[in-house]
């Protein structure tokens, strides 16, 4: 009991010579070793808890300088999507991601008009990066449904699972945005499709409306998916 009291005093008042001497008298060396060990463990655990968060934050803030060793070259701007390409009237709402030396460029390809109405497909061009040049592939249709407009492509790179996800929504082709709002019901579907080969092929799109819009009360009349962020290996 005396030892405990002395130990408490040492902790509260700071370690003074007199207190230390008294402590040494009553506590065996073994006990001191045990107490020292426990304190060490506490310090190490606390150290591990703190700075880890800081490390992860720093990694997010600082972009990896992947081109650091290359000399910048002048390059001609390349048109990836233009209006009036193939069967389409207008290209709008682009989205670009990069994964494993491949750029994936998506956009809305509007078939019937230049406006937010009519049949709209979501198309993709894959661009292989070779130093400072990008070799763009053919236009491929990633999302379409007859009588609907597929809109607002939101590609997501999951670097952990090495999967590309594409979220978009489907609205009946000729229902105007104003009518969607006025009716106050969601006349649309939220869809997701995945690619396991960096955008070459895509899975059958899955309807996730019930688990997304369906959970919102009241449901939004007009909904559009927004900008996403890639998941890095260091993040949980």
Determine which residue in the list 28, 47, 113, 235 makes contact with ligand NAG, applying CB under 6 A: 113
> Mask 36-75, x = binds ligand NAG (CB under 6 A)?
----------------------------------------
Binding-site residue total for ligand NAG (CB under 6 A)?
5
> Does 198 contact ligand NAG by CB under 6 A?
no
Alpha helix segments (H runs only) across the chain: 2-13, 17-26, 29-61, 177-183
> Does 114 contact ligand NAG by CB under 6 A?
yes
Cα–Cα distance, 38 to 3 (Å, whole number): 17
Residue nearest to ligand NAG (CB): 113
What is the smallest separation between the CB atom of 89 and ligand NAG, expressed in angstroms?
Answer: 4
Contact, 187 vs 198, CB < 8 A? no
Q: Which two tokens stand for residue 219?
A: 């449901």
Determine which residue in the list 16, 21, 115, 128 makes contact with ligand NAG, applying CB under 6 A: 115
> Does 176 contact ligand NAG by CB under 6 A?
no
Among the listed ranges 18-26, 59-67, 109-117, 209-217, the one in contact with ligand NAG (CB under 6 A) is 109-117
- Crossing angle of helices 2-13 and 17-26, rounded to 10°: 150
Cα–Cα distance, 35 to 23 (Å, whole number): 13
84 versus 184: smaller Cβ distance to ligand NAG: 84
Beta-carbon contacts of 214 under 8 Å, excluding residues fewer than 6 positions away, are: none
End-to-end CA distance of the chain: 47
Cα–Cα distance, 112 to 135 (Å, whole number): 29
Among the listed ranges 59-67, 93-101, 108-116, 152-160, the one in contact with ligand NAG (CB under 6 A) is 108-116
Binding site for ligand NAG (CB under 6 A): 84, 89, 113-115
């Amino acid at each position: 009991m005396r030892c405990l009291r002395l130990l408490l005093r040492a902790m509260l008042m700071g370690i003074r010579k007199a207190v230390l001497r008294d402590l040494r008298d009553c506590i065996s060396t073994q006990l001191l070793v045990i107490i020292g060990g426990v304190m060490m463990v506490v310090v190490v655990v606390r150290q591990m808890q703190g700075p880890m968060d800081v490390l992860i934050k720093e990694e997010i803030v600082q972009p990896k300088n992947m081109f650091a060793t290359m000399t910048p070259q002048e390059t001609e701007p390349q048109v990836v999507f233009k209006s009036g390409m193939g069967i389409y009237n207008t290209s709008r709402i682009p989205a670009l991601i990069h994964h494993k030396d491949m750029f994936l460029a998506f956009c809305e390809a509007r078939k019937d008009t230049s406006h937010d109405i009519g049949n709209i497909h979501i198309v993709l061009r894959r661009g292989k990066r070779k130093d400072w040049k990008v070799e763009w592939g053919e236009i491929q249709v990633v999302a379409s449904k007859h009588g609907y407009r597929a809109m607002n492509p939101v590609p997501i790179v999951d670097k952990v699972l090495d999967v590309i996800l594409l979220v978009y929504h489907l609205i009946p082709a000729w229902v105007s945005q104003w009518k969607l709002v006025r009716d106050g019901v969601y006349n649309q579907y939220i869809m997701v499709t995945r690619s396991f080969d960096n955008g070459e092929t895509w899975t059958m799109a899955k309807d996730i409306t019930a688990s997304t819009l369906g959970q919102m009360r009241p449901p939004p009349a007009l909904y559009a998916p927004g900008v996403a962020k890639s998941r890095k290996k260091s993040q949980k």
